[in-house]
Structure 1
């Protein structure tokens, strides 16, 4: 019950910060340029610092060895999400870019903006290690499968509007360059320090914790501002939105929790109950904001993707409460 109260408190805080962001833009305190700057600051500084500081704060090689099951659970979650929503997209008779972007919005949850602060609050002692280990799998799949899903499908209007397709070598080089991003680099540096047994002094960690602590309020204020600046409401006419939200954010995490709990009971998984709770909550997160950024960069249905980000974020205020009531 105490953990459920923590989740409800987090969700109320999320709602307040969303409303602050929306109100600031509606009152013209700032606009799109400031929102773009906030997004860049979050992705390149605040979230990487948050993960790094929490991961290296007292963690040891023994902690990594004891918690490697989080990586396995993350891989299982993504495999099941990819398979489930590939099938969903076929059953819903979606085609071309719309089918792929729908899959991307359902597979990738907003772990950076919402998942990290939620997990840190629920599991303050182990949450940082779990986030770091989970992020290795998460980032690898996002920058490969996720990027591919957001590319325009050949033969569609979006594909014809995009620039000429580069050679295979350039595509591979571009993919490898995408891994050189602050979040992934921060995770790998943290893991290297832990494996080497390096202790980061408290006088360095304290300002890093302060900087990382800005990630949660700024991310929610940023998302709230998107509501006021984006033509997102067209997605409300898409039938797959409603099927996807219930399937991805309620039914899937509950089914995953039941499956993993059953497997762990028979010793088939090296995972504790808290790990299973954590990955079940991650599975029910709203659409990752980065998906809308990928689609916008290629002109591939950006309003559609942004609509999923915004509507799913609002829906998560209810769905996460429902899932938490069952799994906690």
Structure 2
């Protein structure tokens, strides 16, 4: 099991190196990288979300499990949002939004599926897909609002955020799941193939962004150290305590704690670039947490699974 997890983390790290190489060699410039970011956020990621629902077979027991996961995921995200508001009161305004985003959202979408599949099989994939509903709803509404540092017209910003490709894809996927809609093999294969581009594309984009950063600066930013401790240690601990207090099933505790122990969401760098936040903080945090997750994820799995 641990070897599968390690292989997955190493693979994502190598994809980042591919992006760094592509940028250093001049194959991709900043303008093209913005286009790749739009491709990821508006096409490949939404299709990845839809594809996750196409792999689930509908049943009453599955629906009950889905309802429980939705509730627990909702509670966890609300708790983490409150925690992030309290934790970063002294952080400068320019970095406060991205700090909150990095704390609340993990790389559960890209890394969660293969890691949980290696632990729980099909049931783990199902739980990850359901958890992703809440994660996407919060990420592309609350997440966009904090990255844009919106203080005025918050309701207007929320409405704009909700009309988002990833959230629309979540709604479409849930409708397909609830009504057990059958799509043709051609359509399913197309959705699956394009959606599978999301993880490598996301990591390559991050690598392209990292190419312009001085490696020495990665280890000089005190905020990044604080965010790393919070993301890899404090957030999983909070998640574990909350789920225990809610008397959640052991498998549910294992799944959600493992998902929250994932590195920082790779979308953070892409979305920070899109919405005018400090992408340098996001890039440093993604790089460091991805490297450290090689040790942290197997340890968390050993403790809670």
Task: Assess same fold via TM > 0.5.
Answer: yes
Give the 3 Å change call, closer, same or farther, for CA 181–32 of structure 1 in structure 2: same
Q: Which residue does 1:212 correspond to in 2?
A: 195
Structure 1 SS opposite 2:88: helix
Query: How does 1:75-94 map onto structure 2 within 5 Å?
Result: 75-90=74-89, 93-94=90-91
Give the 3 Å change call, closer, same or farther, for CA 49–24 of structure 1 in structure 2: same
Query: How does 1:6-155 map onto structure 2 within 5 Å?
Result: 6-62=4-60, 63-90=62-89, 93-152=90-149
Query: How does 1:228-243 map onto structure 2 within 5 Å?
Result: 228-230=211-213, 234=217, 236-243=219-226
Q: Which residue does 1:282 correspond to in 2?
A: 259
* Structure 1 stretches lacking a partner, 5+ long: 155-164
Partner Cα distance (2:269, 2:65) in 1 = 36
**C-alpha contact (below 8 Å) 1:143/1:179 kept by paired residues:** yes
Partner Cα distance (1:208, 1:139) in 2 = 18
Partner Cα distance (1:20, 1:321) in 2 = 25
Greater Rg by CA: 1
When structure 1 is superposed on structure 2, of 108-117 and 64-73 the one drifting more is 108-117
Q: Which residue does 1:200 correspond to in 2?
A: 183
Partner Cα distance (2:110, 2:29) in 1 = 20
**C-alpha contact (below 8 Å) 2:105/2:264 kept by paired residues:** yes
Please report the TM-score for the alignment, with normalisation by the length of structure 1.
0.79
**C-alpha contact (below 8 Å) 2:102/2:227 kept by paired residues:** no
Q: Which residue does 1:159 correspond to in 2?
A: none
* Structure 2 stretches lacking a partner, 5+ long: none
Partner Cα distance (2:272, 2:198) in 1 = 23
How large is the RMSD of aligned CA atoms in angstroms? Answer: 2.9
**C-alpha contact (below 8 Å) 1:7/1:324 kept by paired residues:** no
Q: Which residue does 2:233 correspond to in 1?
A: 250
